[in-house]
């Protein structure tokens, strides 16, 4: 598993979303590494990580992250998950509660059926044959053409446009497309999201939880964030006015300041349950690393790539 890791302080695990990679966090990761140990992996099937045949469910992703933390010698983290990564962070907290001290859910999946029609289209029977054409076209078309197409599909401009373009351009090879379809179909159908956390959110009592959303998110509506804030005991909701699906990129300074404030305001000692909980249901000691480094050029003492769990 490819990752970047750096900084000194309490450990923070950054989990990107569908079609993303560690680079989805932009300058946020480096800013957080000023006073935290930041671990930002590429999930299996994404970025520079392997794209093996196998299980791409959120439970499998959570188990792989648990194995990664074991390999790195990190006992507990503040898990920060964006979009699909929010669902993975929730799954990590449910299955391995002793590993998650705090949760930060950014435009997270798992709180309702509604999701962009563009992602639901990946569940169509012919998607595997259409994706090579879509990916190739996105690489070659002018930005203005791509921007117009995304706007018609309801995507907010700015970071939403850039990250969607990068994401679909990453599907140029067959292994990436296969992993993308396997991931999408483990969490979506043509009607929307099929994995729900709603019946488990009360079990996050004792886990400090921050929910961040953009009020212009057209991938997963902000109403999901408001619902989650009602269901998670003592959760804090922050809605970024004018931001889309990537509020941490739309307003990075505000996002970093918010996380610093949240970390400072929540207890260092965890009161979360320590017994594993069932997976999400279907339908409905800090190390000294002064800078972020990639596992392609590991800092002494870093582990190598982590194999997928079976």
Q: Which of the residues are catalytic?
A: 83, 217, 245
Task: Compute CA distances 29 → 4, 73, 131, 248, whole Å.
Answer: 9, 20, 30, 10
Query: β-strands 37-41, 3-7: how paired?
Result: antiparallel
Among 166, 181, 182, which residue's Cα sits nearest to residue 47?
166
Question: Cα angle vertex 2, ends 280, 7, to 5°?
Answer: 95
């Amino acid at each position: 598993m490819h990752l970047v890791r750096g900084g000194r302080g309490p450990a923070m695990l950054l989990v990107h979303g569908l079609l993303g990679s560690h680079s989805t966090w932009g300058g946020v990761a480096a800013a957080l590494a000023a006073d935290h140990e930041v671990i930002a992996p590429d999930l299996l099937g994404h970025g520079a990580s392997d794209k093996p045949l196998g299980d791409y469910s959120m439970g499998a992703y959570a188990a792989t992250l648990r194995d990664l933390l074991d390999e790195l010698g990190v006992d507990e983290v503040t898990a920060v998950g964006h979009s699909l990564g929010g669902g993975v962070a929730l799954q990590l907290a449910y299955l391995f509660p002793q590993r998650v001290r705090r949760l930060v859910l950014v435009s997270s999946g798992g709180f309702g059926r509604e999701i962009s029609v563009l992602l639901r289209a990946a569940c169509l029977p012919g998607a595997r044959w259409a994706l090579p054409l879509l990916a190739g076209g996105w690489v070659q078309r002018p930005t203005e053409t791509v921007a117009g197409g995304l706007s018609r599909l309801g995507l907010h401009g700015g970071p939403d446009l850039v990250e969607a373009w990068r994401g679909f351009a990453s599907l140029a090879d067959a292994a990436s497309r296969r992993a993308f379809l396997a991931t999408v179909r483990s969490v979506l159908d043509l009607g929307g999201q099929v994995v729900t956390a709603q019946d488990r959110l009360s079990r996050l009592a004792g886990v400090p939880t921050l929910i961040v959303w953009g009020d212009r998110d057209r991938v997963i509506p902000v109403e999901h964030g408001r619902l989650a804030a009602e269901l998670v005991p003592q959760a804090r909701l922050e809605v970024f006015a004018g931001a889309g699906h990537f509020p941490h990129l739309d307003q990075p300074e505000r996002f970093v300041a918010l996380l610093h404030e949240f970390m400072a305001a929540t207890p260092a000692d965890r009161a979360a349950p320590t017994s594993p909980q069932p997976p999400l249901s279907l339908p409905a000691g800090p190390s000294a690393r002064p800078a972020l480094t990639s596992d392609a050029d590991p800092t002494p003492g870093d582990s190598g790539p982590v194999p997928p769990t079976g």
